[in-house]
Amino acid sequence: MEETNLSQSYRVAILGATGAVGAELLELLHSRSFPISNLKLLASERSAGTTLPFGGEMLPVEAVSARSFDNVDLVLASAGGSTSKFWAPQAVAAGAVVIDNSSAFRMDATVPLVVPEVNPQAAAAHRGIIANPNCTTILMAVAVWPLHKVKPVQRIVVATYQSASGAGARAMEEMKAQARAILQGETPKTDIFPYPLAFNLFPHNTPINDLGYCEEEMKMVNETRKIFGTDEIKITATCVRVPVLRAHSEAINLEFAEPFSAIEAREILKQASGVKLVEDWQANYFPMPVEASGKDEVLVGRIRQDISHPCGLEMWLSGDQIRKGAALNAVQIAELLAQKNLLRTQAAAASN
């Protein structure tokens, strides 16, 4: 694990601490030795009074309130868009920097949308809030950016295979219960998902626009362009929920202005930050979500020429949605801010 080597320590709050991403944030802050002087766990009133483990201790969960962000330097938020829209501005007003995992601020022109392996420089422009991209966007950006730097991508066609974890801890439990019910000959119950996910799949169930694209697909289109810093890339996406517990996969077709050999692409990705090349052509062994689960890296493989287009390249990836697709990316942004003295905090101001 990478470590943040700093003399300054920070007062950190996790908003949405009891969720799947919140649990991962706790583990990563500890394992990566983020310099914390005080850690506050925040959630809804129904979770107040519970405790969560951190570094051998059990920390209490508090109900978020107007005073929750007093004497807090950094807020890692993963509690949904409406919650972030309400509380993030209050946290900033109290003197904290917010790294938000929801979609609330991603397309706000004044808010940086950051993947540290791609556009770390964007973080410097923050005005108190930095947005964490959508999970599928993060995974694709980490894999495509190293190639885009060598030869700009003109068009991306992507199909996603999204696990239950993308809908949270309750969705993961729902799929398990559905699988047990089906195996016992019972009718599976649905609550989080509109249809049974166990032994099934369906197009992503976010709202569909007039063009027939769902919200999840448009996130990939718009967020990728913002992160890459260009509106010139043509992007189309088909997002599908699949009966996988954790870690998303993506089939990506890239089109360039000139041929891009699979051999060259493979060598570039071998050296790319945040990427692990997984390929054994003889064994037909490539990235799988079961092996990506719990891993920091995005597993990339099955890199091959597109036989339908002379300038086309195909790749396949799997990446942990909870980890790199959410919590890890947020912690990496926090590390970046601290290392580059971009974390504007009360503590930093007091030390000047």
Structural domain includes residue 180? no
Q: Are residues 71 and 15 in the same domain?
A: yes
By C-alpha distance, which of 210, 214, 184, 211 is closest to 199?
184
311 is catalytic: no
Structural domain includes residue 173? no
Q: Is 241 annotated as a binding residue?
A: yes
By C-alpha distance, which of 73, 103, 82, 87 is closest to 42?
87
In tens, the pLDDT along 184-200 reads 999 999 999 999 999 99
Q: Are residues 306 and 233 in the same domain?
A: yes
Bridge partner list, 98: 75, 129
Helix pair angle (20-31, 328-339), 10° resolution: 40
CATH number at residue 31: 3.40.50.720
Q: Are residues 142 and 127 in the same domain?
A: no
204 is catalytic: no
Counting the structural domains of the chain, the total is: 2
Per-residue pLDDT, 342: 73
Q: Are residues 263 and 341 in the same domain?
A: no
Q: Are residues 141 and 278 in the same domain?
A: yes
Question: Residue 249 half-sphere exposure, CB side, CA atoms within 13 Å?
Answer: 17
Mean per-residue pLDDT for 197-211? 97
Per-residue pLDDT, 178: 98
In tens, the pLDDT along 140-170 reads 999 999 999 999 999 999 999 999 999 988 9
In tens, the pLDDT along 92-102 reads 999 999 999 99
Q: Are residues 250 and 336 in the same domain?
A: no
CA 145/CA 235 separation, integer angstroms:
14
Residues 213 and 222: beta-carbon distance below 8 Å: no
Q: Are residues 85 and 69 in the same domain?
A: yes
E strand residue ranges, the chain: 10-15, 36-43, 51-54, 57-63, 74-77, 97-100, 129-131, 153-162, 202-203, 234-241, 248-256, 275-277, 298-305, 312-319
CA 32/CA 335 separation, integer angstroms:
9
Distance of CA 301 to the CA centre of its chain: 20
CA 290/CA 143 separation, integer angstroms:
19
Per-residue pLDDT, 324: 97
Q: Two tokens at 152?
A: 């700009």
Q: Are residues 122 and 145 in the same domain?
A: no
Q: For residue 352, what pLDDT band results from cuts at 50, 70 and 90?
A: very low
Range of the domain at 27: 10-132+327-348
Q: For residue 7, what pLDDT band results from cuts at 50, 70 and 90?
A: low
Q: Are residues 110 and 237 in the same domain?
A: no
Q: Catalytic pick from 126, 135, 204, 239?
A: 135
Per-residue pLDDT, 254: 98
Q: Are residues 78 and 99 in the same domain?
A: yes
Instruction: Tell whether the model's pLDDT for residue 3 goes beyond 50.
Output: no
Q: Is 106 annotated as a binding residue?
A: yes
Q: What mean pLDDT is reported for the chain?
A: 94
Burial of 143-174, coded b for 16+ CB within 10 Å and e otherwise, reads bbbbbbeebebebbbbebbbbbbbbbbebbeb
| Alpha helix ranges (H) inside the chain | 20-31, 81-93, 135-150, 169-183, 215-228, 262-270, 289-292, 328-339, 346-351
CA 219/CA 104 separation, integer angstroms:
12
Per-residue pLDDT, 242: 98
Q: Is 152 helix (H, G, I), strand (E, B) or coil?
A: coil
Structural domain includes residue 207? yes
Mean per-residue pLDDT for 33-52? 94
Q: Are residues 150 and 266 in the same domain?
A: yes
Q: Is 142 annotated as a binding residue?
A: no
> Between β-strands 51-54 and 57-63, what pairing exists: parallel, antiparallel or unpaired?
antiparallel
Q: Is 19 annotated as a binding residue?
A: yes
In tens, the pLDDT along 268-321 reads 999 999 999 999 999 999 999 999 999 999 999 999 999 999 999 999 999 999
Q: Is 302 annotated as a binding residue?
A: no
Q: Is 46 annotated as a binding residue?
A: yes
Structural domain includes residue 1? no
Q: For residue 8, what pLDDT band results from cuts at 50, 70 and 90?
A: confident
Q: Is 124 annotated as a binding residue?
A: no
Structural domain includes residue 171? no
Structural domain includes residue 217? yes
Instruction: Tell whether the model's pLDDT for residue 227 goes beyond 80.
Output: yes
Residues 93 and 123: beta-carbon distance below 8 Å: no
Q: Is 168 annotated as a binding residue?
A: no
Per-residue pLDDT, 348: 41
Q: For residue 344, what pLDDT band results from cuts at 50, 70 and 90?
A: low
Q: Which of 125 and 2 is assigned the larger pLDDT?
A: 125
Q: Catalytic pick from 126, 148, 204, 248?
A: 248
Residues 71 and 52: beta-carbon distance below 8 Å: no
Q: Is 329 helix (H, G, I), strand (E, B) or coil?
A: helix
Mean per-residue pLDDT for 322-345? 89
Q: What is the percent of the chain where pLDDT is above 70? A: 95
Residues 126 and 340: beta-carbon distance below 8 Å: no
Q: Two tokens at 286?
A: 């490539």
Structural domain includes residue 331? yes
Q: Are residues 152 and 270 in the same domain?
A: yes
CATH number at residue 291: 3.30.360.10
Structural domain includes residue 179? no
Instruction: Tell whether the model's pLDDT for residue 351 goes beyond 60.
Output: no
Per-residue pLDDT, 346: 42
